């Protein structure tokens, strides 16, 4: 991502709408949209480092970086590359990676992402997307099971220690 510039009003509005829909304010998350002049992605979410948070006096600051040429660019006929619905989907897709663990007070910018090669999609269409989604779901289920097993094992170990100590 390259130079930063102010986000246009439509991008600011979309980011604010999505932030409200996802309830970020309730967790104290501060989302700042910006545009960039060079990028390899149409939209990206980045957590501000400690220095940026200190300098801006804003905690839990998250930047939504939108590639200016993709969002507001026009083709040779003067028509916009994309409509507002597409802008919304691009921003929403990036912002869906933001999660906040209120118990630990920890901000995370990772979530399972669905990635399939374009050639795979062109051949299998919805069936290919559904199989990739199922793969993510199964991996999530396995991770949850492993977590539960680890908790059960820890609880058994703690219970055994308490019994040995006569508690």
Q: Provide the residue range defining the domain that includes 45.
A: 1-111
Residue where one domain finishes, among candidates 111, 130, 154: 111
Phi, psi of 65 (to 5 degrees): -100, 120
Contact assessment for residue 113 and residue 140, using Cβ atoms and an 8 Å cutoff: no
- Cα 157–chain centre separation: 36
Q: Which pLDDT does position 167 carry in this prediction?
A: 63
pLDDT digits over 64-74, tens only?
999 999 999 99
Same-domain status, 25 and 96: yes
Q: pLDDT class for 1, splitting at 50, 70, 90?
A: very low
pLDDT digits over 100-125, tens only?
877 777 788 876 677 888 999 999 99
Q: Which of 19, 43, 13 is nearest to 31 (CA)?
A: 19
83: CATH:
3.30.2010
Same-domain status, 7 and 74: yes
């Amino acid at each position: 991502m390259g130079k930063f510039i102010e986000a246009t009003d439509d991008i600011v509005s979309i980011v604010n709408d999505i932030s409200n829909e996802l309830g970020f304010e309730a967790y104290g998350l501060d989302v700042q949209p910006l545009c960039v002049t060079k990028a390899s992605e149409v939209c990206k979410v980045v957590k501000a480092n400690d220095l940026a948070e200190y300098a801006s006096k804003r905690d839990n600051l998250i930047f939504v970086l939108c590639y200016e040429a993709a969002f507001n660019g026009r083709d040779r006929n003067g028509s916009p590359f994309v409509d507002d619905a597409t802008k919304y989907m691009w921003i929403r897709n990036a912002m869906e990676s933001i999660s906040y663990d209120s118990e630990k007070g920890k901000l995370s910018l990772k979530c399972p992402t669905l990635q399939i090669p374009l050639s795979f999609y062109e051949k299998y269409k919805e069936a290919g997307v559904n199989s990739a989604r199922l793969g993510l779901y199964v991996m999530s289920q396995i991770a949850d099971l492993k977590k539960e097993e680890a908790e059960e094992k820890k609880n058994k170990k703690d219970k055994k220690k308490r019994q040995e100590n006569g508690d």
